[in-house]
């Protein structure tokens, strides 16, 4: 083994071992990301494979080949396991069983029955490339799409890794040696450089993939009400502004409803705050089931909720509000032997037709809500007031 090959091999071993430690640390800090444990194991296996390759002159041939080849293939499989876990695909058990079965049969045969280094490397390199390309497909066709574009960098790193193995395969197998105008040592240097490049780029890209998911989760958590699971005020405002602007731009009606539970303080005082929380959760679930795709629903705070209904005229918005009011009043929460019934007051305004902004719409709907409270509760009022009869 030439000094440059030995140096590159040592660099690759050091990088993969360090990568394993980093991934293990990330896994310890983020137990929910099981993918990082697979990626840590993959790097340990890659370092083991590199060590077996470098120690071939000092170890029995069968030991270095079996340990090196199985560690290499298993390492690539573990990368695939992590990617599949991360993007929501089933773990590739069938491919794993087939690959290990081929390796288990092919290596002993071409080592002990018919000693043929070319065929051993042919089996090994083809398995490595096919598993890697299958993982790239998993990555680019996810069931659970990642939050950013880091998967593109992961795919590039894995394709660089595959390219190194393809070049080494073409030079090692005698039938293909004339396809590339480079020597065997040059191809080995290219192969190691491709491995080193991918071993640097791949973990960085995987960590970026994780950070994108964490940032996406933080963004979603910042927009979701922790009790009811619907939008909170912040999340609602950012989305509602977009929908109102779209309605104005395309001249499509948008309605807003503010809903407030009547005498909710009495529920908390009589049954306790835990019961009050259950009432809010049940109310949010009940109303959420009635909404259409594209409608927005949020908890503004306390017992107040807000809805933005897209592409509805005033009469349709009134009918939706009536349906919601009736659902609220007919919904009963059972706590042991107690039954909790509530009613709600609703304020309705047509956003695009009568208001220019989200703040104007909120002010108008709030004004209608207070009028509904003043007129006896458990009713709907519209702002600006119209001739439509909306009470029971």
Residue 387 has a pLDDT of 44
Q: Is the pLDDT of residue 375 over 80?
A: yes
Over the stretch 195-238, which tens digit does the pLDDT of each residue have? Answer: 999 999 999 999 998 888 888 778 778 899 989 999 999 999 99
pLDDT in the model for residue 40: 92
Interval 107-136 mean pLDDT: 91
pLDDT of 367 > 60? The answer is: yes
pLDDT at 388 over 60: no
- Please say if the pLDDT value at position 56 is more than 90: no
- Predicted pLDDT of residue 294: 86
pLDDT at 386 over 60: no
pLDDT value at residue 121: 87
The band of 97, judged by pLDDT with boundaries at 50, 70 and 90, is very high
**The pLDDT value given to residue 145:** 64
The answer to whether residue 143 scores a pLDDT higher than 90 is: no
111 has a pLDDT exceeding 70: yes
Q: In this structure, which CATH number among 1.10.357.140, 3.30.70.270, 3.90.1150.10, 3.40.50.2300 belongs to the domain 233-382?
A: 3.30.70.270
Confidence band for 390, pLDDT divided at 50, 70 and 90: very low
Higher pLDDT, 336 or 110: 110
pLDDT at 96: 94
Mean pLDDT over 5-17 rounds to: 91
Kindly tell me if the per-residue pLDDT of 179 is higher than 90: no
Could you tell me which residue, 183 or 109, shows the higher pLDDT? 109
Q: Among 1-10, 42-51, 228-237, which is the least confidently predicted range?
A: 1-10
- What's the gap between Cα 158 and its chain centre? 20
The CA distance from 8 to 49, in Å, is 14
Rounded CA-CA distance 40/58 in Å is 27
If you average pLDDT over residues 241-262, what whole number do you get?
91
**Cβ atoms of 329 and 343 closer than 8 Å:** yes
Overall residue count recorded for the chain in this entry:
392
Looking at the domain that runs over 3-223, which CATH code has it been given? 1.20.1070
Give 392's pLDDT tier (boundaries 50, 70, 90): very low
Average pLDDT, the chain: 88
User: How is the chain split into domains, by residue range?
Assistant: 3-223, 233-382
Q: How confident is the model at residue 251 (pLDDT cuts 50, 70, 90)?
A: confident
* Digit-coded pLDDT (tens) for 296-341: 999 999 999 999 999 999 999 999 999 999 999 998 888 778 888 9
Q: What does the alpha-carbon distance between residue 77 and residue 292 come to, in Å, rounded to a whole number? A: 43
């Amino acid at each position: 083994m030439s000094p440059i090959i030995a140096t590159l091999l040592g660099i690759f071993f050091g990088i993969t071992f360090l990568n394993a430690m980093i991934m293990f640390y990330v896994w310890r800090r983020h137990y929910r990301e099981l993918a990082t444990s697979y990626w840590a194991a993959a790097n340990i296996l890659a370092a083991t494979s590199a060590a077996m390759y470098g120690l071939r002159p000092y170890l029995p041939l069968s030991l270095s080949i079996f340990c090196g080849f199985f560690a290499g293939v298993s390492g690539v499989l573990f990368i695939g396991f992590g990617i599949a876990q991360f993007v929501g695909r089933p773990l590739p058990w069938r491919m794993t069983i087939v690959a290990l079965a081929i390796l288990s049969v092919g290596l002993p045969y071409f080592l002990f029955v018919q000693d043929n280094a070319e065929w051993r490397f042919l089996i090994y390199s083809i398995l490595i490339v096919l598993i890697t390309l299958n993982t790239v497909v998993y990555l680019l066709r996810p069931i659970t799409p990642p939050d950013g574009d880091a998967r593109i960098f992961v795919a590039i790193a894995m394709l660089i890794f595959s390219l190194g193995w393809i070049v080494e395969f073409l030079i090692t197998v005698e039938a293909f040696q004339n396809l590339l105008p480079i020597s065997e040592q040059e191809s080995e240097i290219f192969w190691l450089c491709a491995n080193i490049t991918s071993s640097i780029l791949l973990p960085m890209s995987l960590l970026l993939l994780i950070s994108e998911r964490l940032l996406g989760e933080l963004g979603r958590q910042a927009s979701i009400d922790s009790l009811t699971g619907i939008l909170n005020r912040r999340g609602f405002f950012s989305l509602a502004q977009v929908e109102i602007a779209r309605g104005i731009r395309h001249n499509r009606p948008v309605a807003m409803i503010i809903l407030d539970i009547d005498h909710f303080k009495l529920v908390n005082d009589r049954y306790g705050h835990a019961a009050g929380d259950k009432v809010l959760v049940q109310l949010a679930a009940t109303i959420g089931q009635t909404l259409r795709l594209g409608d927005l629903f949020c908890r503004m705070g306390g017992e107040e909720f807000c809805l933005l209904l897209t592409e509805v005229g005033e009469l349709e918005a009134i009918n939706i509000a009536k349906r919601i009011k009736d659902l609220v009043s007919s919904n009963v929460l059972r706590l042991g032997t107690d039954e909790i019934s509530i009613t709600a007051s609703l304020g309705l305004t047509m956003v695009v037709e009568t208001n220019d902004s989200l703040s104007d719409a909120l002010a108008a709907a709030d004004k209608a809500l207070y009028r509904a409270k003043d007129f006896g509760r458990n009713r709907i009022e519209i702002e600006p007031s119209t001739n439509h009869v909306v009470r029971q």
